[in-house]
Chain A
């Protein structure tokens, strides 16, 4: 799994 920022969260 790739570690990335989940852009769709508050």
Chain B
């Protein structure tokens, strides 16, 4: 463990807290992409299969929190707050994301075992899972401030993993090229958003696309 990874994981937890807080206080999931949330649940379920055969207090606890909170968000979106979700603006074609991640996972896993292929699939899928959400923000041209905080915290999580990987590359004999490439792609996808978030939201203005 190092400070970058810990900070990244904390941002991930914060993003989930912001999302659930936004939905339960406003009793609405407007502005949140159901498709992105469904992809995240798929990411966590396929990546954390090792819960069944490995245990480490920190990691196992976090994995259960990520799967549980993700399932809870989907429950809120399909149950109590379903009337506030507008499928007409959540139209990103996720089949290409799932298909692309599946092809890359089958071609380049570290090992050709079901668990490793699913792990690789989850890494690639996570790198693009935010696209339906960003697409939705782009379509509507604006987002509630709390939604932008959520997207920022989620982006900061993987961005902070990058210095973690650099640190680990310098201090150990192993590295994980697959996670690094996917993590960099993931961070790049957020970069436009980070820029607008920094120039608008942090200076007290509404998040509106130019």
By the criterion CB–CB under 8 Å, are B176 and A3 in contact?
yes
By the criterion CB–CB under 8 Å, are B176 and A6 in contact?
yes
Q: List 14 A-B contacts (CB under 8 A).
A: A1-B174, A3-B177, A5-B116, A5-B176, A6-B174, A6-B175, A6-B179, A9-B5, A9-B179, A10-B9, A10-B59, A10-B62, A10-B63, A10-B66
By size class, the interface of chain A is 10 to 19
> In the complex, A3→B175 CA distance in Å?
5
| Residues of A bordering B, CB below 8 Å | 1-10
Give residues of chain B (160-187) contacting chain A, Cβ–Cβ below 8 Å: 161, 168-169, 173-179
Interfacial chain A residues near B59, Cβ < 8 Å: 8, 10
Determine the residue in chain A with the shortest Cβ distance to B8.
Answer: A10
By size class, the interface of chain B is 20 to 34
Apart from A3-B174, A8-B59, A9-B161, 13 more pairs, CB < 8 Å: A1-B174, A1-B175, A2-B174, A2-B175, A4-B174, A5-B110, A6-B168, A6-B175, A7-B54, A9-B176, A10-B12, A10-B63, A10-B66
User: Within 8 Å of chain A (Cβ to Cβ): is B119?
Assistant: yes
Give residues of chain B (78-128) contacting chain A, Cβ–Cβ below 8 Å: 110, 116, 119
Interfacial chain A residues near B173, Cβ < 8 Å: 1-2
User: Within 8 Å of chain A (Cβ to Cβ): is B56?
Assistant: yes
